Amino acid sequence: MLLQFFLTPLLATVFFILALYPCALKIGFTDKPSHRKQHQKHTPLIGGLAIYFAILVTLFFNDNPLPNQTAFIAAVTLLVCVGLIDDYKGLGVKIRLIVQIAAALIMVEFAHIKIIDLGDLLSFGNIHLGNYYATAFTLFAVVGGINAFNMIDGIDGLAGSLTLVSIASIAVASWIFQDEMVFNFCLIFIASILAFLLFNLRIFGRSSAKIFLGDTGSTLFGFTVCWLLIDASQGEKNLITPTTALWIIALPLFDSVCIMLRRISKGRSPFAPDREHLHHVFHLAGYSINQTLSIILTFSFGLSFTGITASLFLKVPEPILFGFFILLFASHYWLMNHAWTVIKICRYLSHTKVSERRVENQRVEVDRRSGTNRRYMPTQREIEKIDSSNAFLRAILLKQRFGGESNKQRTPKPRWGKRIKIFNKIKP
């Protein structure tokens, strides 16, 4: 099982990345640098395509087909094809939404995976949806989940790492309840994502990612997470409750819903690009890419761990878990609306000030005569020290600054008589 469902997708993903890399550079299938992006060179958008091919190879050589395997392949193939066109040429929001709805319909109508039971959210018993309401609500949830992972794909390794946390959480639940089919399905994606992150993270001395996920990969990840969560939380043999599913996908959901609400409140389109996501706030606060990634992953892992532990082991009632989830969402929304306050706190905690970063990044220009830095900006402590010092210290500082020129011994010019004598001596 380890060879078939882990090593095969792992090695296949690495192989397809290495094979597609030169082809992407040759045809221009890359992400170009711009004012909204941090990378400085053309980066191939082949991460999602390589993972898709690796999954197809793994499922093709699998003797025991997974449940609803054909429907899943059909849905993700549709998303991947449109994602490739969007990455290469660019597509409008309406076309992408139509394709995402079509993929969700395949999941609902052919795989019969839909949200019928919302769980006991308000202590009045489980909330059941009718057939039509369940279909409409599932379409809304899947499209929202796909765009949540698409929007959060803003820094190297973030979308892949958050997907890894969510799918690993589902794998833990399936392992606890000994659901071999769901566990194998999760294992395939875990191996493929790990192989992709080897090229996408800023590791091994790299200052930027070698490849990007692209809309192809982010939509594939979002759809797969929604597929697994809905399948695991519905039915008589459900592995987790619907509320636990919310905790597993909490951080991408928080970020996407908050950013959409803020855009709508400003009279803008909810799909309009900006730089107000959670990872942008940490970056403005002075954290590096890897530090931002570590902080967000820690939060995501903590939320997933809390939801699974409270639900499966501590048996916390669903209304309490749902209430805490809403409270966390409200807190996240308030913090994002007061982002500058959060930035100031983060800068204080990281001991990094804007003025210090500006001074470090400035080019040093040294005055050749005095040997001082022209762009030097004294700190507040040095200014207070100079102001509070006595006249003797001021004299010392002035002497260090201008003493070199005043102490130079200037040879006096000879008088006209001496000049004529010197000239006559030199003249042959």
Q: Is the pLDDT of residue 341 over 50?
A: yes
- Residue 93 to residue 111: CA distance in whole angstroms: 26
Q: Is the pLDDT of residue 70 over 50?
A: yes
What percent of the chain has a predicted confidence (pLDDT) above 90?
A: 53
Q: Is the pLDDT of residue 289 over 60?
A: yes
Torsion over CA: 95, 149, 222, 38 (sign): positive
End-to-end Cα, the chain, rounded Å: 105
Which tops the pLDDT comparison, 143 or 414? 143
Confidence band of 423 (pLDDT split at 50, 70, 90): very low
Of the candidates 314, 162, 170, 337, the one whose C-alpha atom is nearest the C-alpha of residue 251 is: 162
Listed ranges 105-109, 127-131, 405-409, 411-415; the one with the highest mean pLDDT: 105-109
pLDDT reading at 307 higher than 70: yes
Concatenated DSSP letters of 338-362: THHHHHHHHHHHHT--HHHHHHHHS
Tell me the pLDDT band of 293, cut-offs 50, 70 and 90: very high
Domain ranges of the chain: 2-350, 355-403
Helix (H, G, I), strand (E, B) or coil at 150: helix
Find out whether 160 and 225 touch, Cβ atoms under 8 Å.
Answer: no
Amino acid code (one letter) for 136: A
- Look up the pTM and report it: 0.79
Most confidently modeled of 144-158, 187-201, 347-361? 187-201
d(CA 230, CA 224): 10
CB 261 within 8 A of CB 137: no
Question: DSSP letters along 284-340, please?
Answer: HTT--HHHHHHHHHHHHHHHHHHHHIIIIIS---HHHHHHHHHHHHHHHHHHHHTHH
Are the C-beta atoms of 321 and 247 separated by less than 8 Å?
Answer: yes
Residue 325 has pLDDT above 80, yes or no: yes
Tell me the three state secondary structure of residue 65.
coil
